[in-house]
Amino acid sequence: MISETEYKKRRETLAEQLKNNSLSVLFSAVQQIRSNDTEYVFRQNSNFYYMTGFKEDNATLVFLKKKGKTKTILFVQKKDKLKELWTGKRLGVKQSKKRFLIDKVYAQEDFETKLKEYMQGITSINYDFNSYTDKAKVLHAYAKDMLSYANLAKPIEQMRLYKSPTEIALIRKAIAITKEAHHRAMHMSKKCNYEYELQAEIEYVFKKNAALSDAYTSIVAGGNNANTLHYIDNNKPLHHGDLILIDAGCEYNYYASDITRSIPTSGKFTQAQKELYEMVLEVELAIIKMIQPNIKRTQLQKKSEELLCAGMVKLGILKGDVKKLLKKQKHKKYYPHGIGHWMGIDVHDQAPYKDENGKELLLQSGMVMTIEPGVYIEKDDTNVPLKYRGIGIRIEDDILVTDEGHENLSQGIAKTINEIEKYA
């Protein structure tokens, strides 16, 4: 668990970066309607959560910086017996004051009045441009007249890039649960007739282990469906002899995992599947090996394209000179996506890969990144040997950059052909 002291430290780190005479505001997420009288499960805004650890909606965090000193103020929902009867207990003003190491706590209803008061002498406003809710509109009305206003998400994203030991522990836990889920899928694949059955087996393990949500909608794609990168229908029959691409990861206490495995429905890879799988696996391992401080993501991207392109030439999927094929981007038809992304509170942790001057970030100890090369061959692609058509393979792991190089946090999830077949 992340302590109140750690949250306080995060707020202090952010406050140091704020200008004098500035007002900075973070809004909670807004409860979303699914359809008549039903709501989606509430999920806190990631930046708001990172700064507070507070899971209720209708809340606002304010940083008021004057004369080099920052006051933090939290607005929360008031206690309300009737509303709490329907939607559950609220912390309320008093309990929030006790729990959070925040200077002042008020009821949400006081926000606009207090805002007017805080605005005295303010010359710049910061807020998260991504959370443009009705409350943000009130603020925006002020911001337009300001000397300067800036996106508060930017400095928070930078902080979120570097995971603390407690954050890494939560990611490890999410991955441990996801490991069990993928192993169950490997074991159950022969017994499942539809993609959704396998999805249920995976998500059963998530919930059973207190990971109450998936970090993104699970992809369970049998056969040719694996060639649709974001396939989430998961409603087709599984056919004996096909591969199933499973991209599924749970969210545990607001921290993600993001794992892909490609496994056989029959429990055994065919010869053609083996050939393609071994090739992608070799590339994945080679890219993971490169991860260490001061390397750039584009270096990993470039190398993965070179290796996959060369691998595809070897298998006869692409024909010609590797360098020329790369130059003409021919490999992109079969490997159209990035090698990986930041991961943390969000599965795609919201941080740019370049600094504000357009210079690419170097990987540093404490960052977490996925590595996920893939090859996707449509069933009707007559340019490719028949035996490979209709196969889509991606292999994805979650990697922590360390001082020494890296640690594959998902190392324990079966990945070689032997390991996967043993689980069947």
Q: Any contact of residue 284 with ligand GLY (CB under 6 A)? A: no
Q: Which is nearer to ligand GLY, 79 or 337 (CB)?
A: 337
Q: How far is the CB of 53 from Mn ion (least distance, A)?
A: 25
From 282, 306, 348, 381, the catalytic residue: 348
What is the spatial distance between Cα 362 and Cα 346, in angstroms, rounded to a whole number?
A: 20
What is the spatial distance between Cα 126 and Cα 249, in angstroms, rounded to a whole number?
A: 33
Residues in the chain: 424
From 394, 397, 398, 406, the catalytic residue: 394
Check: CB of residue 125 under 8 Å from CB of residue 23. yes
Number of chain residues interacting with Mn ion (CB under 5 A): 5
Q: Any contact of residue 247 with ligand GLY (CB under 6 A)? A: yes
Is 183 annotated in the active site? Answer: no
Q: Which is nearer to ligand GLY, 156 or 347 (CB)?
A: 347
What is the spatial distance between Cα 92 and Cα 74, in angstroms, rounded to a whole number?
A: 11
| Residue 395 to residues 50, 143, 212, 329, Cα–Cα distance (Å) | 29, 45, 25, 22
And the tokens for 366?
Answer: 């404490």
Q: Is 66 strand, coil or helix?
A: strand
Check: CB of residue 201 under 8 Å from CB of residue 188. yes
Q: Any contact of residue 216 with ligand GLY (CB under 6 A)? A: yes
Is 99 annotated in the active site? Answer: no
Q: How far is the CB of 373 from ligand GLY (least distance, A)?
A: 11
Is 37 annotated in the active site? Answer: yes
Q: Any contact of residue 214 with Mn ion (CB under 5 A)? A: no
Residue 245's DSSP bridge partners are: 221, 262
Residues contacting residue 191 through CB under 8 Å, at least 6 positions apart: none
And the tokens for 92?
Answer: 């309320």
Burial 70-104 (b: 16+ CB within 10 A, else e): bebbbbbbeeeeeeeeeeeebbbbeebbeebebee
Is 378 annotated in the active site? Answer: no
Closest residue by Cα to residue 235 from 224, 213, 220, 216: 220
Q: Any contact of residue 258 with ligand GLY (CB under 6 A)? A: yes
And the tokens for 352?
Answer: 């740019």
Is 394 annotated in the active site? Answer: yes
Q: Which is nearer to ligand GLY, 65 or 297 (CB)?
A: 297
Is 117 annotated in the active site? Answer: no
- Gyration radius from the chain CA atoms: 24
Q: Which is nearer to Mn ion, 11 or 182 (CB)?
A: 182
Is 396 annotated in the active site? Answer: yes
And the tokens for 260?
Answer: 């892909």
Backbone φ and ψ of 59, nearest 5°: -130, 155
Residues numbered 354 to 373 that lie near Mn ion (CB under 5 A) are 370
From 372, 388, 397, 398, the catalytic residue: 372
Is 376 annotated in the active site? Answer: yes
Q: Residue with CB nearest ligand GLY?
A: 247
Closest residue by Cα to residue 223 from 202, 239, 247, 199: 239
Is 341 annotated in the active site? Answer: yes
Q: Any contact of residue 372 with ligand GLY (CB under 6 A)? A: yes
From 34, 230, 380, 403, the catalytic residue: 230
Q: Which is nearer to Mn ion, 22 or 260 (CB)?
A: 260
Q: Any contact of residue 56 with ligand GLY (CB under 6 A)? A: no
Q: Any contact of residue 206 with ligand GLY (CB under 6 A)? A: no
Q: Any contact of residue 127 with ligand GLY (CB under 6 A)? A: no
Backbone φ and ψ of 53, nearest 5°: 75, 15
Residues numbered 234 to 293 that lie near Mn ion (CB under 5 A) are 247, 258, 260
| Residue 96 to residues 7, 77, 200, 254, 287, Cα–Cα distance (Å) | 14, 10, 37, 20, 46
Q: Which is nearer to ligand GLY, 56 or 396 (CB)?
A: 396
Partner touching 349 among Mn ion, ligand GLY, none, CB below 5 to 8 Å by kind: none
Is 337 annotated in the active site? Answer: yes
What is the spatial distance between Cα 265 and Cα 392, in angstroms, rounded to a whole number?
A: 14
What is the spatial distance between Cα 179 and Cα 163, in angstroms, rounded to a whole number?
A: 21
Binding pattern to ligand GLY, positions 318-347, x when CB under 6 A?
-----------------------x-----x
Q: Which is nearer to Mn ion, 214 or 396 (CB)?
A: 396
Is 182 annotated in the active site? Answer: no
Chain contacts with Mn ion (rule: CB under 5 A): 247, 258, 260, 370, 396
Known catalytic residues are 37, 230, 247, 258, 337, 341, 348, 372, 376, 394, 396
Chain contacts with ligand GLY (rule: CB under 6 A): 216, 247, 258, 341, 347, 372, 396
